[in-house]
Amino acid sequence: MSVVFARMQGVSSENEPAAGGAEDAPPEQLALIRETVRRAKTPRAKPRTWRGAALARERPVARVLVDKGVLHLDRYFDYAVPEELDADAQPGVRVRVRFGAGRHRVRDGRREGGGLIDGFLIERLAESDYSGPLAALAQVVSPERILDEELLGLVRAVADRYAGSVADVLQLAVPPRNAAAEKRASPQPLPPPPAPGPGSWTRYEQGPAFVAALAAGSAPRAVWNALPGPEWADELARAVAATLASGRGALVVLPDGRAVARVDAALTALLGEGRHAVLTADAGPEKRYGQWLAVRRGAVRAVVGTRAAMFAPVRDLGLLALWDDGDDSHSEPHAPQPHAREVLLLRAAQDRCAFLLGAWSCTVEAAQLVETGWARPLVAAREQVRAVAPLVRTVGDQDLARDEAARAARLPSLAWQVVRDGLRHGPVLVQVPRRGYVPRMACAACRTPARCRHCAGPLEGQESASALRCGWCGREEGDWHCPECGGFRLRAQVVGARRTAEELGRAFPAVPVRTSGREHVLDTVSQAPALVVSTPGAEPVAEGGYTAALLLDGWAMLGRPDLRAGEDALRRWLAAAALVRPQSAGGTVVAVAEPTLRPVQALVRWDPVGHAVRELAERAELGFPPVSRMAAVTGPPDAVAGFLRAVELPGEAEVLGPVPLPVTSEGRPRRVGAPPPGEHWERALVRVPPGRGAALAGALKTAQAARTARTARGSDATVWVRIDPPDIG
């Protein structure tokens, strides 16, 4: 008999006959039905396995999280623990289990197989709430206990925050196993170092007090607006050293390997070798896993790394620090695409530790932390800012229109003069928004973008070629005229780094020209006179600082259809200008952008905090993130419409759209959640007011779990869900 048979006979509970004739059944049959239901509801004290192997005497049930990153399987599964695996099968170890059809044996009396899959053993239990026989653990991959309750709690919180699965977040949190690294013993932990002095933290009004609070074991939280110059790396190192002096651990997350190398060098100079680990995604698997294990085992208390380190299992965490949270590198491209800032904020709340968010610029999220009182501002006085910042001058469209040299060569006379003067004393930095040669063209008179007559794609200039070529279909265009004004003259919308380097090389033939970009990023340059042409984020550090900097094509960055266009442009300008010598040493920055625009004015005044506060106020008025919580639902039109009909959104939710997404062409890199080349997709935005973000994420996760279950059976198309999308237009 089975529960199904009992329900077919009309029994609804053990003690209450169902309506509809069960009371009239013979007593023997009714007693048999009730006994069957009672046995089915009684959990088995010990699981039985199809292998018939002897089981562990104590806690023979293992609760396992399988490595399947799909939402409808985002739960634990019970397995039996064979006696021979009893000693090694401890909570936190990696295991392999049979998963798939027939994980539990009873299938019409036949044993059904399933594929072996990796997983993590979460806990051991005396019995399972599953009434049938359990499959056994197939293997304990390693007795190393790498997953503890603290890390699992953080992973679960991140998964809930971003409507993702725990398995997906674990893949980001725990690096792949390396047997060689696991066999090596970790070094012995060193005693806490002495508390360092404040160093250059004295330049900030509350800097010495912040370092002293860390050394005393307190948990201050601060948003740090760093002064221009290279001292920021030493200041981060001193904050870490003060935390270690209190007997606690510290974690610093930075946007790229070059920033990691600078803080690594500063920490080594301050504390010596062996007191911190470096975790980056580009390290070899053995080195990365070995460093991660040293942290997990408590041999090392401080970690410096890129976003791959945001889950590092630091013991007795006392400080979490993040540098330049506006950098795109802090946003994880893999599901569920968490941002390092939000992960560290969750950790700070979970571990009740100190938090430091620093940058030359200031994001609206950082301003919100101060506005709500969660963190305190850590800034320098205006006199100190003026003493170390370079002179910033601007050139707008009206200046370019009056300047014959600017119309011909894209650089105003002021910029040429600043370059000439700067090259007399050292290197000059030139920031260009795009890499490459001449990506896009526009009408010289009215600036209407030049489009292909066949497919409406963008026309691009070619290196060492006079004809234009379409960036979508590849056709050449030799007889273009503007459809708006009838003009025949063209100008580059955004001139790439190589073309700019070529122009400057012709203008200054006796000066070496160096480029830094995606293909080849320079780390440092000497103090000898040179022109350094760089894309944003790839600027090398000059010994002694640059004498001058040119920030070209500012309108191109400000004109992007993105909510963060102004904030991001200011961040990139400040990052370049911070590498220039102070005004007292002759440092000058020329920004080719409209002087009246708010981000340009913030650059001139060196006031990123004021810009972020005003941006935050406007977003609050309009209901934009980060004041509200927003999610993007992307996919084929029918799939998006079906998902929005199925999801049970909170009552306060507002659905914006859906709207069509641009169709991508072949040969271009595809981002996660972007439509395949040639396909027409749509995106809808779902917005909720403050305090309802968790409810929105929960509703989207539930609907997505139901959809992925149907998609696995081939009945539904894929829909992408992303919480807090960074590219809101």
Crossing angle (nearest 10°) for helices 166-173 and 149-161: 120
Residue 407: give the domain boundaries. 391-438+495-605
Asked if residue 493 lies in contact with residue 552, where contact means CB atoms within 8 angstroms, the answer is: no
Give the model's confidence band at 465: pLDDT under 50 very low, under 70 low, under 90 confident, else very high: very low
Give the model's confidence band at 140: pLDDT under 50 very low, under 70 low, under 90 confident, else very high: very high
pLDDT at 32 over 80: no
Last residue of a domain, one of 605, 640, 673: 605
Burial code (b: 16+ CB inside 10 Å, e: under 16) for 519-546 equals eebbeebeeebbbbbbbbbbbbebeebb
Length reported for the chain: 729
Q: What is the pLDDT of residues 262-274, one digit of tens each?
A: 999 999 999 999 9
| Confidence (pLDDT) at 441 | 67
Cα-based distances in Å from 489 to 347, 451, 727: 56, 14, 33
| Confidence (pLDDT) at 663 | 72
* Calpha distance 565→554 (Å, rounded): 11
| Confidence (pLDDT) at 680 | 85
* DSSP per-residue string spanning 279-329: E-TTS-HHHHHHHHHHHHTTS--EEEESGGGTT---TTEEEEEEE-TTSGG
Pairing outcome for strands 682-688 and 654-660: antiparallel
Give the model's confidence band at 114: pLDDT under 50 very low, under 70 low, under 90 confident, else very high: low
Same domain, 50 and 27: no
Last residue of a domain, one of 367, 385, 403: 385
Same domain, 106 and 131: yes
Asked if residue 366 lies in contact with residue 612, where contact means CB atoms within 8 angstroms, the answer is: yes
**Hunting for tokens 């800034």 — which residue is that?**
379
**Hunting for tokens 């300008």 — which residue is that?**
573
249: helix, strand or coil? strand
* Calpha distance 337→59 (Å, rounded): 37
Cα–Cα nearest to 391, from 570, 551, 581: 581
| Confidence (pLDDT) at 254 | 98
Q: Is residue 461 part of a domain?
A: no
| Confidence (pLDDT) at 486 | 80
Cα-based distances in Å from 165 to 173, 380, 486: 13, 42, 55
User: Where is 260: in which H helix or E strand?
Assistant: helix 257-271
Q: Which two tokens stand for residue 504?
A: 């400057």
Cα–Cα nearest to 69, from 33, 139, 118: 118
Q: Is residue 463 part of a domain?
A: no
* Calpha distance 706→436 (Å, rounded): 45
Average pLDDT over residues 290-316: 96
| Confidence (pLDDT) at 29 | 44
Q: What is the pLDDT of residues 65-108, one digit of tens each?
A: 998 878 888 899 999 999 999 999 999 999 999 987 444 433 33
| Confidence (pLDDT) at 440 | 57
H helices, E strands: number in the chain = 22, 29
Q: What is the pLDDT of residues 204-215, one digit of tens each?
A: 999 999 999 999
Same domain, 368 and 501: no
Average pLDDT, the chain: 84
Dihedral sign of CA atoms 297, 307, 373, 605 in order: positive
* Calpha distance 200→235 (Å, rounded): 7
Same domain, 426 and 343: no
pLDDT at 13 over 50: no
* Calpha distance 573→394 (Å, rounded): 12
Asked if residue 539 lies in contact with residue 551, where contact means CB atoms within 8 angstroms, the answer is: no
Q: Averaging pLDDT over each range in 331-335, 407-411, 563-567, which range is the top one?
A: 331-335
Q: Is residue 728 part of a domain?
A: no
Pairing outcome for strands 548-551 and 376-378: unpaired
Residues 201/203/208/214 CA torsion (nearest 10 deg): -30
Cα atoms found within 13 Å of the Cα of residue 698, Cβ hemisphere only? 6
| Confidence (pLDDT) at 509 | 85
Q: What is the pLDDT of residues 165-190, one digit of tens each?
A: 999 999 999 999 999 999 999 888 99
Same domain, 134 and 228: no
Burial code (b: 16+ CB inside 10 Å, e: under 16) for 597-606 equals bebbebbeeb
State the amino acid at position 483 in one-letter form: P
- In percent, the amount of the chain with pLDDT more than 90 equals 60
Same domain, 597 and 635: no
Q: What is the pLDDT of residues 554-607, one digit of tens each?
A: 877 887 767 888 999 999 999 999 999 999 999 999 998 889 899 999 999 999
* DSSP per-residue string spanning 66-117: ES---GGG-S-EEEE-BGGGTTT--TT-EEEEEESTTSSS-BTTB----EEE
How many structural domains does the chain have? 5
Q: What is the pLDDT of residues 416-435, one digit of tens each?
A: 889 999 999 999 999 988 64
| Confidence (pLDDT) at 504 | 78
Same domain, 651 and 578: no
What CATH number is given to the structural domain containing 534? Answer: 3.40.50
Q: Is residue 374 part of a domain?
A: yes
* DSSP per-residue string spanning 562-605: STTHHHHHHHHHHHHHTTBPPGGGT-EEEEES-TTSHHHHHHHH
Same domain, 31 and 64: no
404: helix, strand or coil? helix
Q: Is residue 29 part of a domain?
A: yes
pLDDT at 1 over 60: no
Cα-to-chain-centroid distance, residue 330: 4
Same domain, 359 and 242: yes
Same domain, 26 and 68: no
Q: Is residue 588 part of a domain?
A: yes
Q: Is residue 479 part of a domain?
A: no
| Confidence (pLDDT) at 10 | 31
In terms of Cβ atoms closer than 10 Å to its own Cβ (0-12, 13-18, 19+), residue 39 is exposed
Pairing outcome for strands 476-477 and 468-470: antiparallel
| Confidence (pLDDT) at 666 | 55
Same domain, 216 and 331: yes
pLDDT at 40 over 60: no
What CATH number is given to the structural domain containing 379? Answer: 3.40.50.300
DSSP class of 484: T
Backbone phi and psi for residue 610, each to the nearest 5 degrees, phi listed first: -60, -40
Same domain, 597 and 641: no
Crossing angle (nearest 10°) for helices 608-622 and 565-577: 170
Backbone phi and psi for residue 55, each to the nearest 5 degrees, phi listed first: -100, 165
* DSSP per-residue string spanning 5-57: HHHHTTB-SSSSBPTTTGGGS-HHHHHHHHHHHHHHHSPPSS---TT-PPBPS
* Calpha distance 715→729 (Å, rounded): 32
Q: Is residue 153 part of a domain?
A: no
Q: What is the pLDDT of residues 691-713, one digit of tens each?
A: 899 999 999 999 999 888 876 65
346: helix, strand or coil? helix
